[in-house]
Every structure is written in C-alpha cells, then in structure tokens.
Chain A
Amino acid sequence: MIRLEINGRRRDVDVPGETPLLWTLRDEMGLTGTKFGCGMALCGACTVHVDGQAVRSCLTPISAVADKKVVTIEGLGTDSIGKALQAAWIDVGVPQCGYCQAGQIMSAAALLKRTPAPTDAQIDEAMSGNICRCGTYTRIRAAVKQAVAKQGGTR
C-alpha cells in the first residue's frame, strides 16, 4: 500500500511500486485528465506536479511519490495561477483537439510558479517538452502571457 496526496486528498493505492504514476492515476483512480502520449517522457502529455515541480508521470514510479503531494489537471483550478491559465486558454482559444492541453497547462503552471513573469525564451524552454500535434504553439505562448498579465506579472 502506497500513501500519497492527490489534489489535496490522502489516497492509498495498492499497486506494484514500479507502476507509473500515470497509469495509477488513470486506471486506478479514474483521473483521466492526465494523458498518455509516449510513455517515455518525450511529449509532456502526462505532466503533473509533484511537490510543486512539473514531472512526467509516465516515467515516475508510484513508489517515488509516496508521501508526496501530487496535483493533476483536475486539481489545478484551486490555485490562482492554475485558474488564470485555464481562463486564458479558453479566452485565447488555444485548444484544437485538446488532448495535450492538460500537460501544456501543467507545464505552464509550474513555470509561472517559479518564474512569475517569464521571457519568451523561458516560456519556450519550459514548454519545449510538450508536443502539440495540432500546432497550437503560438496561442499557447499568447495564453501564458495573458495569464501572466492577469496575475499582475510584468516583463
């Protein structure tokens, strides 16, 4: 039994310790907002926060997050940065198919938590691990900047 905190709630899960966090979230806990895209930390679709850091849940064994705080896209809206990003994503009309966007928003949220007013280069660097096959990158950048502006950040 592995104990962890998911979106503010204590959860105990009974899976082999090497099971990736991704599949534990999706198959065992029903938190399907975190997506599978590659299984090799190449695409970022599975990005979640562990103790505030963006991590690729597809390569993170569940044993590595024991007693840690995990936040997924389902729980992101409870903080102001998450809420601002979600609102900006809608306002800018970022999503096309939308499949990668949970991971994109999680990466963007982790960026803004450590860098409230990122430069273009910092946005690029933080987001380059997240693939969008629909090609929404220009709008992702615009939405991050809009969220920054709404948060009162300046560059």
Chain B
Amino acid sequence: MNALILANVSRRWFLHGISLGGLVLAVGYPSAARAQQAKKYGADGMPNGWVDNPLAFVSIAEDGTVTIVCHRSEMGQGVRTGMPMIVADELEADWKRVRVAQAPGDEKRFGNQDTDGSRSTRHFFEPMRRCGAAARTMLEAAAAERWKVPVSEVQAKNHEVVHRPTGRRLGYGSLAKAAARQPVPARETVRVKDPQQFRYIGKGQLKLVDGRDIVTGKAQYGIDTRLNGMLYAVVARPPVYGGKVGSFDAAEALKVPGVEKVVQIEDSPPPAHFNPVGGVAVIARNTWAAMQGRRALKITWDDGPNAGYDSAAFKATLEESAHKPGKVVRNDGDFAAAAAGAARRLEAEYYIPHLAHATMEPPAATVRIANGKCEVWGCFQSPQAARDLVAKRLGMSADDVTVHVTLLGGGFGRKSKPDYAIEAAVLSKAVDGKPVKVTWTREDDLHNSYYHTVSVEHLEAGVDGRGKPVAWLHRSVAPTIISTFNAAAKSEAPFELGMGVINVPFAIPNVRIENPEAVAHTRIGWFRSVSNIPHAFAVQSFVAELAAAAGRDPKDFLLDVIGPARQVSPETLGDTWNHGESPERYPVDTGRLRRVVETVAREAGWGRTLAKGRGLGIAAHYSFVSYIAAVVEVAVDDKGVVTIPRVDMAVDCGATVNPDRVRSQMEGACVMGVGVATLGEISFKGGRVQQDNFNSYEVTRMTEAPRVIRVHIIPGDYSKPMGGVGEPGVPPIPPALCNAIFAATGKRIRRLPIRDQLKV
C-alpha cells in the first residue's frame, strides 16, 4: 500500500453537520419541546450528518496515486464511482490515477453512511465538492510555497499544479507531503468549480470502478469473505414471526462430517428491531457441511400468536377496514358534501401483497473476535448500525468494533437491517472468537425477510359533468414499518403517508385521506421505493379509471388532474416529512411533474396507432424528491400472455453526477416494477411464508423483461437541489403497465400480481 501522506489530522476540520438523530430526538422530547428545536433537513437531519473534511476522504501518495474514500455502500447504484468522481473532479485529479477505498462503518469520521432513501448523491454532492476543492486548494498552496510565488498565480489542472506566468509544473505526487502540511482552508473560503468546468460530473464517460473486478470474478461481496481458520454457519430460524425454539436435538447434525458445533441463538420477541429472530445454528468447516447439518437438526418450534397469520384472510380484514372511516390524515374542503353533489361517483380498491427483496446475494456476514476487538465483514447498507448493534450484543464499546463494508450483491432495503451481522457475532463468540461466516440460503432469505407491507388502497371520487374529479377520498390500509420497532403501532407513519398518499398535488378542491388501522403479523421493512409502490399503483390506476369513465385521453386527463404548474408546499398537503427535505428547498413542483408527463408522452409517441392487442399506459409519480413518468407499451396475445416491447421513462431528478447510472437505475427500477406488477407475491399460511425459492417467488427474467427501455433525463441545474434516483423509478411502472393492459384489452387490474388474471 502506498504511504498515505495527506493525513495531518487537524481537529478544527472535524466539522460535522451533526444532528442528534431524528429517532432519538423524537422519542426523548415531548412534541412541544421538539417544536422549539430548529428542524434540520437533508444531510443535516441525518444521524451524524455530513463531513467535508478532505483529510477524511483524500490521500495522495508520492507516486501521485490519489485515493478517495467512498463512505456509502455500493449495491448497484454506482455510488463507488459517482461519489469519488465528485471529489476527483473538484480536485482536478486524473481519474486514471484515482483509487477508491471503501470506508469502514464510522459515521463520526465520515458522516452518515446509511445508504438508503435514495440519498447519497443529493446529500453528499455539495460536501464532496467542498472536500475535493479544499484538497485542491492545499495542493495549490503547497506549490506556491515551493515556488515562492503568490497563490493567485498557480492553478491545479489534471493532476498537476501549474505556475501560469512561467509554465512550471509540479505533479500531485511531488506536492503530497507539502500539501499535507498546509492548513485545511476554512469552509467559507473554499471555491468550488463553476459547473461549466466539470470534467467528469454530468458527463457519463467514466466506467464503473468495480467493472473489471466484477466481470473477472474478483469483486468481493459479503458472502465471499474468507479468513484463516474461518468456520461456516447456517441458522435454522423460527418459521413464524415471534416464534421460538421449543426444543431441539442436535445429535444427528453433529454426526455430519465437517460439523463442529450446534449453537442456539436467543430468540427476540417482537418487535423485531434489527435483532436476529433466534434459532439454532450449525457451525461447520464449510458451507455445505453446515447446510447438511442443519437438515439433520430436529427442532420443535413454539410458533406463538402469529401462527394464525393467513394472507388470504388478512386481505379480507384489510378490505373490511378500508370500507370504514379511519384516522383522517389530510382533509381539504368537504369530501362528503362535494361527493354528494357530484354528477357521478366512482370507487375502486387496489391490493398489493407482501414482497421480499430477494437480493441475488443473500444476507451474509463474518465476525472475528480477538484481543478485546471485534471485526465484522459484510454487505451492509448501514455499517454504523451493524457496528453499534454488534457492539451492543457483545457488550463491547463500538470503538472496539470495526465494520468492513464489502460490495453488496443487491440491497433494496434488506441490507439496511444488520440482523445477520449480529448472528455472526453471537456465533463467533460461541467458538471463542474464531471467525465465523453466516450465510443465508435463498429459503432463509424468503422465509425470514423484513417484508414489504401488504396493502389495500380504497379510492372514491366525485366527478363533475365533464368527468373531472371534484372530490377525492383515499383510504390506505397497511401494516406499518413502525411495527417492527413498536409492536403496538397500527397506523402508517408520516414517512409512509408522505410516500404518495397524502402528498398528491392534484388540482382537486375536496380531498380526504384516511388511514384505518392495520396490525402487522410479520417483520415489515423497507423495500426499494417502500410505500410509494402501493400508493402510486392505486392513485395512478384510479386516475386512469376516471379518465376512461370520462371518455378522455389518459395523458390529457392526468395533466388536467395535476393542474397548472405551481409550487405546492408539502405542509399544505399534510406532509410534514417530505422525504426529510426542507419544504422551502423542495416544494412539490407540479410544473416538473407535468414536464415529465409531457416529455415521456412525446418520446413514447403517445397516441400512435398500435396493432390489435397492443396498448400504451401512462403513469407519473413524485417520490424521493424526484419526478418520474413512464409510458409502457404492452402486447397481450390471445392467450392472455403479456409481453412488453418497450418502456419510456422521463426522469427529473435535478442535475446528475453520472447520467449513465441514472439511466441504469431507471432501467433496473423498470424491470423490478414489472416484476412487482406481474409476478411478485409473498403469502403466508399458518404464519409461514409459502414461497421457498425462485420457483415459487418468481422474479422477472430476460424473457419477461421489457425489450427496450428508453430513459429521458430532464436536464438539471447544479445550483438547484438534487433528487433521488435509486428508488423513484419503481412506483410509476406497475400502474403504467396496468393502464396499458386496460388500453390493450379493456381489462382493469386492481390486484397485484397480475400472474394469470389475463389468461384465457
């Protein structure tokens, strides 16, 4: 390893945008006291905020190699390319001489690392720019000092500092030592580039930093960790949420060649938090032996109260709740009066089942404990959470726990819950600290996930004589993610309501949004795009249903319902959350929503003549402070088999760092959205998940995926706040697809997945 020269840790540069952490604050203070606290938004509002200290992120070796630390987790969104690219651009580094190092879990040093919520670029674009610019300033100062010239005469350019009057040059490597002795400039003096001068940002020319390793099999994921003397474990977990081991017999398991030990992991009764659910672990000399040992275990489970969970019956329970008034979470005008006076009333109900992330790499983690220190390796979206919770479970200080973050073979929210790291820690401790790798099988992953919620969305509208809605009622009924942290929680949290149920910016005068209660019977967790999926499916399907009832073109009707271009404060929509962003900086901009609708319609050739059995559907959704619209083209054959020749997506996420990764995220979101619409379902019977593997939990394959996906990026302005990219592409896809099926066949899909609903 090269000597890391830029490392004079100056205390005053530990400048954090620190918050105490939203959850802690919310629990600890009564609401009146909380209201007096200045509310923090964006990265400022996240635990441990942001850091822009170049000494934390940049080091330069004497051979000129620049190492840039990426502190966010790579799970396919391209963050290990995008985040260092921002620093390199401002640093005037030559990308060919840049190496990327992955940060361990250490939020005090690097700022927030919880890689979810489509936040990395929008929260760290500015801090990373300042970080690179500050390092560049230090190199310039060092060169000016060496030449004894005013710093105003020197300029960093492509890995060198140039003395403009004389043309003298010094490479970054030769300046590294002297630059390290320079004071880090005060933040307010740091000059970032004019976006016109960007060399990498927004260009989309750079290849993925991990591309070569990925295609040659060298890339290291959590499941790939190998340490000297490492043991391999798999765990038999309770099949029912809240269940536990009644009794077990390990005699046969211990006879399996290679099995070393059988260890019970303590159960953790609901609420689950990020704790392991418990069970019986088999530790062996290789993964296969551990799996064989597990098969030989005899376990009697004590299932507990969720043994009655049956998702078919629960659908009826949710529907019953959706037919009765619930807690009013937004109320504009007078829905009841307006609906009573309307020319016509329409209603519809939509259902989306539980889903599992099914990351291609199942959860996996390795832990080694030695000399009072614990090391963890794994695929973590939130390495600091892994660190804190492993420390807590082992009774150690977090300072003594190091979390090494590998690549993630998919995340989608599953890997923000580090229960598998805690399992590995418990098992390592059980074998005197020897390294133990816990690998989840696909069955484990599907049986013990943190599932996407199940929901019934009930919509009613009163329309005027021309079919335009004047009254809008939406009852959203779904177990809340909060139930995973507070077993008594039965209402959707502000962050769930703010995902496209209350913050719908339609030009409708009478709006009533209700949230009847729902009880969770399994671990509910974040799944890519979260509650936006059911909410957008319902809202965007219903708008299309109203358009059909009015005999109007769905695109024109959607634009009419959105209404004229205006900036709507999320607070006036009852949305106090706004994806954690400032309501002033991030109003809901219906002009931007209109623009993606108009753009995608134009690019997709909306209105073109199609063959029999083909149809176009449109949907638009605002989420993660970005605006996305999609047009899906379907072909439904005479047997009811759906294929998707083409999808167009228009995305307005503000300015982009790596447009090619924006495209790839939209493409991937599109395929995942198609899977949600057509195939995805986790169902329960007797409290047990009925799907075991990819034969029963089907996901989209190449044959069912859209043949062509065209992504249209609305150009952005670097002076304006950025939006999210990883998640907002999913929600518009299921409704656009179902709207296309309606256009092609006249059949309206209100229950997902579609599966064989169209089969003739």
A116 contacts chain B at the CB level, 8 A cutoff: no
Known: A95-B208, A96-B76, A97-B76. A131 touches B701 (CB 8 A): yes
- Enumerate chain B residues within 8 angstroms of A74, measured Cβ to Cβ: 216-218
- Residue in B217, B224, B409, B693 whose beta carbon sits within 8 Å of that of A97 in the complex: B409
The distance in angstroms between the C-alpha atoms of A42 and B693, with both chains bound, is 8
CB distance from A129 to the nearest CB of B (A): 8
Chain A residue with the shortest CB-CB distance to B357: A133
Contact status B702-A124, CB under 8 Å? yes
Chain B residue with the shortest CB-CB distance to A16: B257
Chain B residue with the shortest CB-CB distance to A32: B224
- Enumerate chain A residues within 8 angstroms of B226, measured Cβ to Cβ: 30, 32
CB distance from B105 to the nearest CB of A (A): 19
- Residue in B442, B668, B703, B705 whose beta carbon sits within 8 Å of that of A96 in the complex: B668
Contact status B287-A133, CB under 8 Å? no
The distance in angstroms between the C-alpha atoms of A2 and B539, with both chains bound, is 60
The distance in angstroms between the C-alpha atoms of A100 and B74, with both chains bound, is 15
Contact status A33-B668, CB under 8 Å? no
Chain A 124-142 residues near chain B, CB threshold 8 A: 124, 127-141
Chain B 641-673 residues near chain A, CB threshold 8 A: 660, 664-665, 667-672
Q: Contacting chain A: which of B120-128, B358-366, B737-745?
A: B358-366
Chain A residue with the shortest CB-CB distance to B81: A93
Contact status A98-B76, CB under 8 Å? yes
Mask: chain A, 109-134; 1 = CB below 8 Å from B; 0 = not: 00000000000000110011111111
- Enumerate chain B residues within 8 angstroms of A15, measured Cβ to Cβ: 286, 288
- Enumerate chain B residues within 8 angstroms of A35, measured Cβ to Cβ: 221, 223, 360-361, 409
Chain B residue with the shortest CB-CB distance to A141: B702
The distance in angstroms between the C-alpha atoms of A15 and B212, with both chains bound, is 32
B276 contacts chain A at the CB level, 8 A cutoff: no
The distance in angstroms between the C-alpha atoms of A31 and B218, with both chains bound, is 9
Chain B 686-711 residues near chain A, CB threshold 8 A: 693-695, 699-703, 705-709
Contact status B407-A134, CB under 8 Å? no
The distance in angstroms between the C-alpha atoms of A32 and B700, with both chains bound, is 26
CB distance from B98 to the nearest CB of A (A): 17
The distance in angstroms between the C-alpha atoms of A93 and B660, with both chains bound, is 8
Contact status A124-B703, CB under 8 Å? yes
Known: A138-B667, A138-B708. A23 touches B287 (CB 8 A): yes
Mask: chain A, 1-43; 1 = CB below 8 Å from B; 0 = not: 0000000000000011001100100111011111111111011
- Enumerate chain A residues within 8 angstroms of B232, measured Cβ to Cβ: 27
CB distance from B420 to the nearest CB of A (A): 14
The distance in angstroms between the C-alpha atoms of A85 and B74, with both chains bound, is 23
B214 contacts chain A at the CB level, 8 A cutoff: yes
Contact status B410-A133, CB under 8 Å? yes
The distance in angstroms between the C-alpha atoms of A133 and B670, with both chains bound, is 11
- Enumerate chain A residues within 8 angstroms of B703, measured Cβ to Cβ: 124, 128
- Enumerate chain A residues within 8 angstroms of B407, measured Cβ to Cβ: 97-99
- Enumerate chain A residues within 8 angstroms of B412, measured Cβ to Cβ: 133
Mask: chain A, 59-86; 1 = CB below 8 Å from B; 0 = not: 0000000000000111011000000011
Mask: chain B, 506-541; 1 = CB below 8 Å from A; 0 = not: 000000000000000000000000000000000000
- Enumerate chain A residues within 8 angstroms of B669, measured Cβ to Cβ: 135
- Enumerate chain B residues within 8 angstroms of A129, measured Cβ to Cβ: 701
- Enumerate chain B residues within 8 angstroms of A95, measured Cβ to Cβ: 76, 208, 210-211, 214-215
The distance in angstroms between the C-alpha atoms of A127 and B214, with both chains bound, is 18
Contact status B215-A90, CB under 8 Å? yes
Chain A residue with the shortest CB-CB distance to B665: A96
- Residue in A23, A90, A133 whose beta carbon sits within 8 Å of that of B360 in the complex: A133
A45 contacts chain B at the CB level, 8 A cutoff: yes
Contact status A97-B667, CB under 8 Å? no
A102 contacts chain B at the CB level, 8 A cutoff: yes
Interface class of chain B by DSSP? loop
- Enumerate chain B residues within 8 angstroms of A135, measured Cβ to Cβ: 667-672, 700, 705
The distance in angstroms between the C-alpha atoms of A55 and B535, with both chains bound, is 42
B623 contacts chain A at the CB level, 8 A cutoff: no
The distance in angstroms between the C-alpha atoms of A40 and B446, with both chains bound, is 14
Known: A43-B360, A102-B217. A134 touches B694 (CB 8 A): no
Max chain B C-beta neighbours (<10 A), residue from A38, A39, A42, A97: A97
Contact status B410-A42, CB under 8 Å? no
B441 contacts chain A at the CB level, 8 A cutoff: yes
CB distance from B96 to the nearest CB of A (A): 15
Known: A20-B288, A97-B361. A138 touches B215 (CB 8 A): no
The distance in angstroms between the C-alpha atoms of A135 and B703, with both chains bound, is 12
Contact status A23-B288, CB under 8 Å? yes
A146 contacts chain B at the CB level, 8 A cutoff: no
Chain B 286-331 residues near chain A, CB threshold 8 A: 286-288
Contact status B360-A100, CB under 8 Å? yes
The distance in angstroms between the C-alpha atoms of A95 and B215, with both chains bound, is 8
Known: A128-B701, A135-B668. A98 touches B286 (CB 8 A): no
Mask: chain B, 488-513; 1 = CB below 8 Å from A; 0 = not: 00000000000000000000000000
The distance in angstroms between the C-alpha atoms of A137 and B411, with both chains bound, is 18
Chain B residue with the shortest CB-CB distance to A23: B288
The distance in angstroms between the C-alpha atoms of A122 and B491, with both chains bound, is 50
- Enumerate chain B residues within 8 angstroms of A98, measured Cβ to Cβ: 76, 210, 214, 219, 407, 409
Contact status A90-B217, CB under 8 Å? no
Chain A residue with the shortest CB-CB distance to B666: A135
A105 contacts chain B at the CB level, 8 A cutoff: yes
- Enumerate chain B residues within 8 angstroms of A76, measured Cβ to Cβ: 216-217
Mask: chain B, 696-734; 1 = CB below 8 Å from A; 0 = not: 000111110111110000000000000000000000000
- Enumerate chain A residues within 8 angstroms of B286, measured Cβ to Cβ: 15, 19, 23, 27-28
Max chain B C-beta neighbours (<10 A), residue from A20, A38, A124: A38
Chain A residue with the shortest CB-CB distance to B663: A93
Chain A residue with the shortest CB-CB distance to B74: A97
Known: A33-B216, A134-B410. A93 touches B207 (CB 8 A): yes
Contact status A136-B410, CB under 8 Å? no
- Enumerate chain B residues within 8 angstroms of A37, measured Cβ to Cβ: 360-362, 442
- Residue in B664, B701, B708, B709 whose beta carbon sits within 8 Å of that of A93 in the complex: B664
B77 contacts chain A at the CB level, 8 A cutoff: yes
A-B contact pairs, 20 of them (CB 8 A): A19-B286, A27-B287, A28-B286, A32-B223, A32-B224, A37-B442, A38-B694, A39-B442, A72-B217, A95-B210, A96-B668, A97-B76, A101-B214, A105-B215, A130-B701, A132-B360, A132-B671, A135-B672, A135-B700, A141-B702
Q: A38-B442, A105-B215 are in contact. List 13 more A-B contacts (CB 8 A).
A: A35-B361, A40-B694, A76-B217, A86-B216, A90-B211, A97-B407, A97-B408, A131-B694, A131-B699, A134-B360, A135-B668, A135-B670, A135-B672
Q: Which residues of A contact B (CB under 8 A)?
A: 15-16, 19-20, 23, 26-28, 30-40, 42-43, 45, 72-74, 76-77, 85-86, 89-91, 93, 95-102, 105, 123-124, 127-141
